[in-house]
Amino acid sequence: MTQDDLARTILTKAGERDRFLVAIAGAPGSGKSTLSEKLLASLDPGNTGIATLVPMDGYHLDNSVIGPLGLLARKGAPETFNIAGLLSDLRRISARQGDVVVPLFDREIDLARANARIVAGSARIILVEGNYLLLDAPGWREIGDLFDFTIFLDVSETELEARLIRRWLDHGYEPEAARAKALGNDIPNA
For residue 42, the one-letter residue type is S
pLDDT digits (tens, 9 = 90+) for 39-72: 999 999 998 999 999 999 999 999 999 999 999 9
Residue 86 has pLDDT above 70, yes or no: yes
Which letter, b or e, does each residue of 23-60 get, where b requires 16 or more Cβ atoms within 10 Å of its Cβ? Answer: bbbbbbbbbbeebbebbbebbbeeeeebbbbbbbbbbb
Structural domains in the chain, sorted by start = 3-155 (3.40.50.300), 157-190 (no CATH)
Taking the whole predicted model, whether its pTM rises above 0.95 is answered as no
